[in-house]
Structure 1
Amino acid sequence: MLWAQRTWTELPRDLANANRAAILPVGATEQHGPHMGTGMDFVLADKLCGRVAANTGVPMLPTLPYGCSLGHSRRWPGTIALQPITMITIVKEIGDWAYHSGVRKLFIINSHVTNAAPLRCALEMLRSEHDDMMAVVINTATMSERVRASHFADAQDWHANAAETALMLAVAPEIVRDALVKKSDDPDRTQDLVFAHPVNRTSLNGVTGLPSQARVEGGRELFEWMVEDLSSLVERGKTEEPPLEHSYFDVVYD
């Protein structure tokens, strides 16, 4: 169910079997502390959505590896960030071309917190231009209560914390530096603040949370929860229809 592996003669049948739905994973390339590789967000999105696509039969578009990571600053090398307007344009154009390939239900699966605003803007543009297209942004860390609780266990403004580190130990151990995990803890300094500060003003090493608490067994459990919960959402969405059939473009006169 990987879009990139399907041919133009196969995709129409794939989409018909999936009730014209597709999955777009969106991640980021950004510093994740001294103990973890910069690809953590898009690796998670890719692996998670690949499993969900296999479970649900919904084709998965190629994962977008860059995101809106401006808040990670240039203090630590490795971050490759898109401006919000650039990201809006990219996702909107991906959605446009997916529409013209037959997609009418687009699940945008986001694994990086500050992608949420530009993805929402792209969603608004897509559904206003394509009246018969439905789109949703689902954030991987908050898709269900149990997934949210795991991510926020050691930090409210979490990044490269116990949950993320455990997930990578479970599904992509090659990007984790085991010898540095226990030395990379940095507490959450964002509690009770009014402003949203960039990471260079809240963290000493790019981490927010306690990666030393990460365990591979916990990562496996959390990943399976995410696969199960996201698959359930996609399955529900595959058959969902708008509550009313009114066209976006219709004008109703009394």
Structure 2
Amino acid sequence: MLWSTLTWDEIPKILEAAQYAAILPIGATEQHGPHMGCGMDFVIAEELCKIVSEQISVPMLPLLPYGCSIGHSKRWPGTIALQPITLIELVKQVGDWAYYSGVRRLFIVNGHVGNGAPLRCALEMLRAEHDDLMVALINTPTISKRVKEFHFADAEDWHANDAETSLMLAIAPDMVRPEKIAQADDPDRTTGHVFAHPVNRTSGNGVTGTPSLATVEKGIQGFLWMVHDLAELIRRGMQETPPLAHSYLDKAT
């Protein structure tokens, strides 16, 4: 089900069987505190989407490992960020070419909170240009109520926290430096502010939350919830039709 391994003459039949759906995982490459590797956001997006793609037989487009991480500043090495306009245009063009290949239901699965606004812009552009393309934007931390509660347990604004560290301990332990976890905690300083401040002004070490609470067991449970709930969400989308059949170009009469 990996798009990159399929041949051009295999793709039409696979898309037909999948209700012309495809999954596009998008992550980021950015600092994740002193205790975790910079690829966390794209690792979770890719691993999650690979498993769901196989379970429900929906092809997965190649991962985009870079995202809009400019809010993480240049204070800590490791962040490789795209400007919002770059991400918008990149995803728009990927979506265009997926459409030309036959995709009519595109599920964008986003592993980085900062990508949300640019990806929403790309969604608006894609559905306006392609009248019969449906686009869903799914953010991995808020796939479902229980997944959201898992991610937000230790902070309203969070990064490299209990949940993310637990997930990496469970599915990619080589990303984590266990000996540094206990000293990595840093509180949420974002509440009550009028302005959205960059991470260099809200965190002392690039972390927001309490990674010291992380366990493999919590990571396994959280990841299983994410897999199950994402699969169910995409299955629903594979059967969904627009509430009304009007074309984007139709004029009301």
What's 1:227 paired with? 227
Once the two structures are TM-superposed, the CA of residue 143 in structure 1 deviates from its matched residue by 1.1
Who is 1:166 aligned against?
166
Question: Aligned-pair distance for 1:192?
Answer: 1.4
Quote how far apart the aligned CAs of 1:188 are.
0.7
Distance across 1 between alignment mates of 2:175 and 2:24: 23
Task: Output the aligned Cα RMSD.
Answer: 0.6
Q: Which residue of 1 aligns with 2:7?
A: 7
Amino acid at match of 1:215: T
Deviation at 1:130, TM superposition (A): 0.1
Q: In the alignment, residue 122 of structure 2 is paired with which amino acid?
A: A
Q: How many angstroms apart in 2 are the aligned matches of 1:181 and 1:114? A: 24
Aligned residues: 253
1:186 lines up with 2:215 in the alignment: no
Q: Secondary structure at the match of 1:23?
A: strand
For residues 201-240 of structure 1, the aligned pairs below 5 Å read: 201-240=201-240
- 1:121 deviates by 0.2
TM-score (norm 1): 0.99
- SS at structure 2 position matched to 1:234: helix
Tell me which stretches of 4 or more aligned residues in structure 1 moved more than 4 Å.
none
- How far is the alpha carbon of 1:147 from its aligned partner? 0.5
**Secondary structure of residue in 2 paired with 1:52:** helix
Measured in 2, the distance between the counterparts of 1:58 and 1:129 equals 23
Alignment correspondent of 1:121: 121
1:48 is aligned to: 48
Within 1, Cα distance between the matches of 2:149 and 2:155? 10
Is 2:95 aligned against 1:95?
yes
Unaligned stretches of 5+ residues in structure 2:
none
Distance 2:214 2:11 in 1: 40
Gaps of 5+ in 1: none
Tell me by how many angstroms 1:174 deviates: 0.5
Following superposition, the deviation at residue 252 of structure 1 comes to: 2.8
TM-score (norm 2): 0.99
3-state SS in 1 of match to 2:33 = coil
Question: Could you tell me how far apart the structure 2 residues matched to 1:193 and 1:214 are?
Answer: 28
SS at match of 1:117: helix
Counterpart in the other structure of 2:140 = 140
For residues 49 and 109 of structure 2, the distance between their equivalents in structure 1, rounded to whole angstroms, comes to 8
| Counterpart-to-counterpart distance in 2, 1:181 and 1:89 | 37
User: CA-to-partner distance for each residue in 1:151-187, whole Å, 9 max, x for gaps?
Assistant: 1111111000000000000000011001101111111
Q: Distance in 2 between matches of 1:14 and 1:173?
A: 34
Instruction: Give secondary structure in 2 for the equivalent of 1:135.
Output: strand
Give the letter aligned to residue 252 of structure 1: A
Aligned equivalent of 2:199? 199
| Cα deviation code 1:99-149 (max 9, x no counterpart) | 000000000000100100000000000000000000010000011110100
SS at match of 2:137: strand
- Residues 67-121 of structure 1: CA distance to partner in whole angstroms, max 9, x if unpaired? 0001000000010000000000000000000000000000000010010000000
| 1:25 equivalenced with 2:6 (yes/no) | no
Aligned partners of 1:102, 1:219: CA distance in 2, in Å?
Answer: 36
| Residue type of the alignment partner of 1:138 | I
Secondary structure of the structure 1 residue equivalent to 2:107: strand
Deviation of 1:209 after TM superposition, in Å, equals: 0.3
- SS of residue matched to 2:28: coil
Q: Which residue of 2 aligns with 1:84?
A: 84
For 1:22, give the aligned amino acid: A
- Cα offset for 1:194? 1.5
Q: Distance in 1 between matches of 2:36 and 2:205?
A: 12
| Counterpart residue identity of residue 172, structure 2 | A
**Deviation for aligned residue 1:250:** 1.5
